[in-house]
Copies of this chain bind each other. A is one copy, B any other.
Amino acid sequence: MKSEHIPKATIKRLAMYVQVLETLKREGSQVVSSELLARACSVNPSQIRKDLAYFGEFGVRGVGYHVQDLIYSIKHSLGVDRVWKCALVGVGNLGKALLRHQDFKFRGFDIVGAFDCDPFKIGEEVSGLEVVCTRRLKDAVKELGIEIGLITTPVNRAQRAANFLIEAGVKGIINYSPAMLTVPSDVYVEYVDFFHHFYSVAFSITLDRKQDRPGVDSTDEDDA
């Protein structure tokens, strides 16, 4: 597998494919066409076929992709079919929502540490985890083998949280705050933002009304 040449945008799409495939699997689907997978991921079928070509040929002509095989192949090829220990920094509403989310561990992402700098939160227990002072992050990362950091702090605390994670040696950060982070080139940051979903919906409703037709065009080539 020519992983050494997989572009970042492809990795993002592969991640989305796996997530959608796992949803299909949960719903009992054994086979999926590239057209259906494309619709669910809002990319075009040719793009999906191109992306999956990194892992050799999976598709069965006239049948589609075997959901389970495809999930396994992508995750195994990329070496992510294992448990990833995660630390969450910032135990506010969103932090608690993520800590209480049941699916993470099931999907191989185990949040083993919850950190906050608020003395009123330190010591509090959230879904079985005791909230610990962020200053103790570095030790926890070493002791628990944490590889991924989730930042759910207010925007003005996000860079500080990132600095703690980077100093602790964490190479992967998922940032739920709207802050743009400054990180070394060997640290990968995934920005989570709720707003593009809102804009997507608002755009679609508006265009539907302008165009007076059901649904916006999802068949056009992505890069038409």
Contacts and interface: CB of A to CB of B under 8 A. Distances in A.
Size category of the A interface is 35 or more
B44 A206 contact: no
Given A172-B201, A204-B172, A194 B192 contact: yes
A61 interface: no
A186 B208 contact: yes
A162 B47 CA distance: 30
B198 A6 contact: no
B44 A12 contact: no
A16 to B, nearest CB: 4
Given A197-B190, A220-B7, A203 B80 contact: yes
Contacts of A178: 23, 26, 103
Interface in A184-224: 184-186, 188, 190-208, 210-211, 214-224
A18 B210 contact: no
Contacts of A19: 193, 195-196, 199
A107 B78 CA distance: 37
30 contacts: A4-B211, A5-B224, A6-B216, A7-B217, A7-B218, A7-B220, A7-B221, A7-B224, A11-B200, A11-B204, A12-B200, A15-B195, A15-B196, A15-B199, A16-B193, A16-B199, A23-B179, A26-B178, A47-B223, A78-B206, A93-B97, A93-B101, A94-B94, A97-B97, A172-B201, A174-B198, A185-B214, A188-B205, A188-B216, A192-B194
Given A148-B202, A172-B202, 11 more contacts: A7-B219, A8-B204, A12-B42, A23-B178, A23-B180, A78-B202, A94-B94, A98-B194, A109-B198, A172-B201, A190-B200
> What 9 A-B pairs are tightest by C-beta distance, nearest first?
A15-B199, A7-B220, A93-B97, A186-B214, A172-B201, A8-B218, A9-B222, A188-B204, A15-B196
Interface of A: 3-12, 14-16, 18-19, 22-24, 26-27, 40, 42-44, 47, 50, 78-80, 84, 86, 92-94, 96-98, 100-101, 103-104, 107-109, 147-148, 171-174, 178-180, 184-186, 188, 190-208, 210-211, 214-224
